[in-house]
Structure 1
Amino acid sequence: MSTHTDHQKGLLMTAIGGLTLTIDIPLIRLADGTPWTIMMLRTGTTLLAGLVIWAIWRSLDRNAPKLIPGWSGLAVAFCYGLTGITFVTAVYHTSTADLVFILAFNTVFAAALSWLFLKERPRLATVIAMLAMILGVLIIVGGSVGTGHLFGDFMALCSAFFVALAITISRASGKDMGFTGLVGVILPLALAAFMVSGEGFHVNAPWWIILNGAVIMPISFFCLANGPKYISGPEVAMFYLLETVFAPIWVWLIFAEAPTRNSLIGGTILIATLVAHSLWQLHEGRKRRAALAVVHPA
Structure 2
Amino acid sequence: MTTVLTRSERDLRGYALVFLAGLVWSTVGLGIRLIDEAQVWQILFYRSVSMTLLLYGVIRLRTGQDPLRLAWRMGWPGVIGGLSLVAAYTGAIFAIQTTSVANAMMLFACSPLLAAVLGRVILGEYVRPQTWVAILVAGCGIAVMVWDKFAGAALLGNLAAIGSAVGFATFTITLRWGKATEMMPAVFLSGVFGMVLMAIICLWLGLSLGITPGDMGISLGMGVFQVGLGLILYTIGSKTVPAAELTLLSLAEVVLGPVWVWLVLGETATPNTLIGGTILLTAIAGNALSGARRRPPPPML
TM-score of the pair, normalised by structure 1: 0.79
Shift of 1:210: 1.9
Which region of structure 1 is more displaced relative to structure 2, 105-114 or 115-124?
A: 115-124
Q: Is the 8 A contact 1:84 1:188 kept in 2?
A: no
Shift of 1:218: 1.3
Q: Is the 8 A contact 2:244 2:288 kept in 1?
A: no
Query: CA offsets per residue over residues 180-231 of structure 1, 9 Å max, x none?
Result: 1122123332333234452333336232322211232113345667999998
Q: Is the 8 A contact 1:104 1:160 kept in 2?
A: yes
Task: For 1:23-34, list aligned pairs within 5 A.
Answer: 23-34=27-38
Q: Which of the residues 248, 251, 254 maps onto 2:261?
A: 251
**Whole-Å separation in 1 of the counterparts to 2:105 and 2:281:** 11
Query: CA offsets per residue over residues 79-128 of structure 1, 9 Å max, x none?
Result: 11211222222121211111111101112211112233444422222211
CA gap of 1:195–1:117, structure 2 versus 1, over 3 A, is: closer
Q: Is the 8 A contact 1:107 1:234 kept in 2?
A: no
2:96 alignment counterpart: 91
CA gap of 1:73–1:199, structure 2 versus 1, over 3 A, is: closer
Shift of 1:136: 0.8
1:188 alignment counterpart: 194
The residue matched to 1:28 in structure 2 has which SS?
A: helix
Q: Which of the residues 37, 45, 49 maps onto 1:44?
A: 49
1:173 alignment counterpart: 178
AA aligned opposite 2:166: F
Shift of 1:240: 4.0
2:199 matches 1:199? no
CA gap of 1:12–1:280, structure 2 versus 1, over 3 A, is: farther
2:165 matches 1:160? yes
**Whole-Å separation in 1 of the counterparts to 2:132 and 2:247:** 16
Query: CA offsets per residue over residues 33-91 of structure 1, 9 Å max, x none?
Result: 32232222111111122223233445xx3598923332221221111121122222212
Task: For 1:107-256, list aligned pairs within 5 A.
Answer: 107-175=112-180, 176-197=182-203, 198-200=206-208, 201-203=210-212, 205=214, 206-222=216-232, 239-256=249-266
The residue matched to 2:70 in structure 1 has which SS?
A: coil
CA gap of 1:216–1:27, structure 2 versus 1, over 3 A, is: same
- The answer for unaligned runs of 5 or more in structure 2 is 1-6, 295-301
CA gap of 1:160–1:240, structure 2 versus 1, over 3 A, is: farther
Shift of 1:161: 0.7
2:24 matches 1:17? no
AA aligned opposite 1:213: G
CA gap of 1:99–1:116, structure 2 versus 1, over 3 A, is: same
CA gap of 1:13–1:245, structure 2 versus 1, over 3 A, is: same
- The answer for unaligned runs of 5 or more in structure 1 is 286-298
Shift of 1:22: 0.9
The size of the alignment, in residue pairs, is: 278
2:86 matches 1:76? no
The residue matched to 2:221 in structure 1 has which SS?
A: helix
1:288 alignment counterpart: none
1:292 alignment counterpart: none
AA aligned opposite 2:132: V
CA gap of 1:172–1:195, structure 2 versus 1, over 3 A, is: closer
AA aligned opposite 1:99: A
Q: Is the 8 A contact 1:110 1:233 kept in 2?
A: no
Query: CA offsets per residue over residues 221-248 of structure 1, 9 Å max, x none?
Result: 4566799999898876655422210100
Identity over the aligned pairs, expressed in percent?
Answer: 22
Which region of structure 1 is more displaced relative to structure 2, 242-251 or 169-178?
A: 169-178
TM-score of the pair, normalised by structure 2: 0.78
2:281 alignment counterpart: 271
Which region of structure 1 is more displaced relative to structure 2, 266-275 or 188-197?
A: 188-197
**Whole-Å separation in 1 of the counterparts to 2:31 and 2:130:** 37
Shift of 1:167: 0.8
